[in-house]
Structure 1
Amino acid sequence: MHIEFTQADSSHVEDLVELVNSAYRGDSSKQGWTTEADLLDGQRVDAKGIQALIDKEESVILVAEDDDTGDLLGCVHVEKQGSKMYLGMLTVAPELQSKGLGKLLLNESEALAQFWDCNTIFMTVISVRTELIKWYEKHGFRNTKETKPFPYGDERFGIPKVEGLQFTVLEKKV
């Protein structure tokens, strides 16, 4: 398999919706370790939201595609916000998780942060996702101990199965 990293455009929207939702929600997500299926029902993303990220200024969805088959293997959303870069929606197809593609997507994101002259990458992770937070810490992120509220009542982000969800802010100097 040869992986090519490119910038998503409108032709990727439906495949991105399918990939991200399959990695985070429902039974398919349980094939990998990044599932949120025990925490949230519903969707993780929709086509309108993906298109909005593609269209937004200083916002890029990087996609990892199999150069031989054209299959979408993973993605990550990055957005320049002043001297910082927001990183979100890091996704690897469930059946390909734990094979190093997530780290490759992080590396591509860091290269873009440097290109954009950003000195910090930051993200939010659901605070009870301790295994995911540890994975990011292993890759140089630190837990800032800052929290942000979960958007309860906004089904665009999922339907909570548990109470007390919040986000933890992680950051990494680049």
Structure 2
Amino acid sequence: MDSTTGVRQPTFRIATTADIPELVALIESAYRGEPSRAGWTTEADLLHGQRTDADGVAAAIYGADSRMVAMEAGEELVACCQIQKRDGHAYFGMFAVRPTLQGDGLGKALLAEAERVARDDWSVGEMHMTVISVREELLAWYVRRGYTRTGEVAPFPYGDESFGIPTRDDLRFELLIKKLG
């Protein structure tokens, strides 16, 4: 157990079908609604509605060249992310840490594990991700971990409720890239 956080030393594993309900609940709790406000990664003021659903998580688990990494502390699921092998790089997404444990270093450890998998298991040289461009605190967190803001943006898919229901009209996705080892 970590003496500073009270959290057991985390372990990583590949998520399975049995994890889908718990993964959906974890992802939703990290980004949407009142439970997300216990952490600092909430999107509750930017988006309402769902962040993901069982089909979205299943696609991450079973998609071609995709892995859903689960992080456990003891036997408790505390964080997750998807990594997907794409054209010469890996894509990082569906990242969630239980809101009450955010700030304890779990996200940093999970991101490092995703980068390790991409570099060592898939032999790719870059990790890519997109972040909502108005999330300056989150963008800064990734920059501190070696990601570069490219300035390349893509429009937010307004009207597609599978991404959530926006509360403002200036949302875009910004591409971040990190060279791996």
Q: Which of 70, 77, 85 is matched with 1:63 structurally?
A: 70
Gaps of 5+ in 2: 1-7
**1:2 CA displacement:** 3.0
| Residue 169 of structure 2 corresponds to residue 163 of structure 1 | yes
Q: Residue in 1 aligned with 2:153?
A: 147
**3-state secondary structure, aligned to 1:143:** strand
Instruction: Give the distance between the partners of 1:171 and 1:47, measured in 2 at CA.
Output: 28
Instruction: Give the distance between the partners of 1:167 and 1:130, measured in 2 at CA.
Output: 12
| Residue 105 of structure 2 corresponds to residue 100 of structure 1 | yes
TM-score normalised by structure 2 residue count: 0.93
How many residues align? The count is: 172
**1:10 CA displacement:** 0.4
Q: Which of 21, 40, 43 is matched with 2:28 structurally?
A: 21
| Residue 175 of structure 2 corresponds to residue 173 of structure 1 | no
**1:89 CA displacement:** 1.6
CA RMSD of aligned residues (A): 0.7
**1:90 CA displacement:** 1.4
The one-letter amino acid paired with 2:131 is V
**1:55 CA displacement:** 1.1
Instruction: Give the distance between the partners of 1:50 and 1:120, measured in 2 at CA.
Output: 23
**1:126 CA displacement:** 0.1
Q: Which of 81, 94, 100 is matched with 1:89 structurally?
A: 94
| Residue 12 of structure 2 corresponds to residue 5 of structure 1 | yes
**1:66 CA displacement:** 2.0
Instruction: Give the distance between the partners of 1:99 and 1:89, measured in 2 at CA.
Output: 19
User: What CA deviation, in whole Å up to 9, does each residue of 1:31-71 have, x standing for no partner?
Assistant: 0000000000001000011111111111001010122xx22
Gaps of 5+ in 1: none
Is the Cα–Cα contact under 8 Å of residues 44 and 157 in structure 1 kept in the other structure?
yes
